[in-house]
Amino acid sequence: MIVAKRKPFDEIKDFLKDYKKVLTAGCGTCVAVCLAGGEKEVSVLNAELDMARRLDNKPIELGAITIERQCDREYLEALDSMVEGYDAVLSLACGAGIQFLAERYPEKPVFPGVDTTFIGVNQDVGWYEERCRSCSSCVLGMTAGICPVTMCAKGLYNGPCGGTNKGSCEISKDQPCAWYMIYERLSKQNRLDNILKITPVQDWQNQKPRTVIQPGYKTSENSAEK
């Protein structure tokens, strides 16, 4: 899931300082699950904004809606009739959702209410950890299911490096060495030969936004865009 953090309140308040009628739009998928931008977080933020603006003698009228997904036109459509009536929109979706919303209403100022942080897992209620950097060339098959791009401080596709130190990384004793973990797990699975395989370096330069068209979904329209 995509994990996000609520932006500092002062930053959000500053975005909205010139607007009197704002729609706060939550997203009911990833950011709702990670407790940053769902229906409840929309209510809390609106309550804060309402109180803060009343104290400043600059009351604000706030609308609230949480749609299933802001990264999907099918659901964004529900906002069409609402957005017109507001001066600005505050979106609590991830960066993708916010952009898709802003793209749909190019005349309307759209502001982010969260900082999109990573793709991660749920360790406990409210506790999330990063696991994937969406690098587009997954090596988990060779690395016993441990991602070196995310878990190794250097993001090395081939490791370990000289900085590995009794299971820890050279940057900190508290940071486990990803390649040590990979070695241990491959060893237990009798697949240690995998660690000798060389993965070509990733070309991180000149990256442009990526597009995925799933097999069986190619049309003349979307393949032309590619």
Nearer to another protein, 74 or 124 (CB): 124
- Count interface residues toward another protein (CB under 8 A): 14
What is the nearest approach in angstroms of another protein to the Cβ of residue 101?
24
What is the distance between the alpha carbons of residues 84 and 23, in angstroms, rounded to a whole number? 10
Other CB atoms closer than 10 Å to residue 10's CB: what's the count? 9
Using CB atoms within 10 Å of the CB of residue 23, give its burial: 0 to 12 exposed, 13 to 18 middle, 19+ buried.
Answer: buried
Q: What is the H or E stretch that residue 40 is in?
A: helix 39-55
Work out the angle at residue 206's Cα, subtended by the Cα atoms of residues 196 and 220, and round it to the nearest 5 degrees.
100
What is the nearest approach in angstroms of another protein to the Cβ of residue 24?
14
Q: Is 114 left (phi over 0), alpha (psi -120 to 50) or beta?
A: beta
Q: By CB under 8 A, is residue 17 in contact with another protein? A: no
Region 194-213 residues binding another protein, contact defined as CB under 8 A: none
Nearer to another protein, 48 or 80 (CB): 48
For another protein, the binding residue among 9, 68, 140, 223 (CB under 8 A) is: 9
What is the distance between the alpha carbons of residues 154 and 122, in angstroms, rounded to a whole number? 24
Region 25-84 residues binding another protein, contact defined as CB under 8 A: 40, 43-44, 47-48, 50-52, 54-55, 57, 59
Q: Which of 20, 120, 4 is nearest to 70 (CA)?
A: 4
Nearer to another protein, 50 or 184 (CB): 50
What is the nearest approach in angstroms of another protein to the Cβ of residue 125?
9
Nearer to another protein, 9 or 223 (CB): 9
Judged by the rule CB under 8 A, the positions of this chain that interact with another protein are 9-10, 40, 43-44, 47-48, 50-52, 54-55, 57, 59
